Amino acid sequence: MDLGIKGKVALITGGSRGLGRQSALALAAEGVNVAICARGEDTLNRTADELKATGVEVGAYVADLGDESGAADLASKVEADLGPIEILVNNVGGSLGTSDLVNSSLDDFHMVMNANLWSAVALMKLVVPGMQKRGWGRVINISSIFGREFGGTAPYMVAKAAMIAASKHTGMAVAKDGVTVNSVAPGSILHAGGSWEKFIANSTKEELDEFIARNLPMGKFGWPEPVAASVAFLASQQADLITGACLNVDGGQSHNLF
């Protein structure tokens, strides 16, 4: 299937590893020129080299999206180097070592909301108006199944639920302008350097087997490629009737019906 997005410009936050890296590679495989950002320069440069090998234009930026000025700085640099951002993938996030409500401080909530939600909102506010003016755009926000049902830490669950809500509301608001906004809710996805790799390393075989039997119907952790393929499809011309949706990519892990 031709996704019809060759030559478009995409920004993928947290694009140096894991789901962000795989999403950038999936978009590059479709001929999309990609910009990625991360806080660590080494992994950023390695991923940039992988992307350049596909033949597309690549921008790699060390960026801290913890405040609005960092988001504005990043968007400005990407558009100066590659052109207007037509596809935005907000992938930065994580639970950042937090816990339940009682044992998480207000600072913990602020920290997780900044990483998962406010960085995405700031970038959407920066690039969506341009998408509206040009009559085409795609925003894909990487949420979590724990934004749809119980799981993870309290700050993380709150942030990811808010991200799904923001995606729904924005998708409805810009639907007539040729812009779609959707979220993707991965389950427990195993990748190098990710939280599930650490979980496996710190668990006994019995603990791990029990977790998999209780939570993962496929009998194994998920992997990044199906998430990235979903991102690429939602970014495509073929997905122009899909907006305000949240797509689970979890191997049946979640329990919700909707």
What span, in angstroms and rounded, lies between the C-alpha atoms of 1 and 137? 20
What span, in angstroms and rounded, lies between the C-alpha atoms of 220 and 250? 11
Which residues, given as ranges, of the chain have pLDDT below 70?
Answer: none
The domain segmentation of the chain, as residue ranges, is 9-187+224-244, 192-221
Closest CA to 38 of 22, 21, 54, 50: 21
Q: Under CATH, what is the fold of the domain 9-187+224-244?
A: Rossmann fold (3.40.50)
Please tell me the predicted confidence (pLDDT) of residue 40. 87
pTM (2 d.p.): 0.96
pLDDT digits (tens, 9 = 90+) for 194-224: 889 988 999 999 999 999 999 999 999 999 9
What span, in angstroms and rounded, lies between the C-alpha atoms of 119 and 142? 12
Enzyme catalytic residues = 156
Please tell me the predicted confidence (pLDDT) of residue 72. 96
Strands 137-142 and 58-62, bridge-based pairing:
unpaired
pLDDT digits (tens, 9 = 90+) for 61-105: 999 898 788 999 999 999 999 999 999 999 999 989 899 999 999
Dihedral angle, C-alpha 160, 162, 165, 169, nearest 10 °: -130
Please tell me the predicted confidence (pLDDT) of residue 14. 95
Closest CA to 91 of 26, 153, 151, 135: 26
Which residue bears the tokens 């609005």?
68
What span, in angstroms and rounded, lies between the C-alpha atoms of 95 and 154? 9
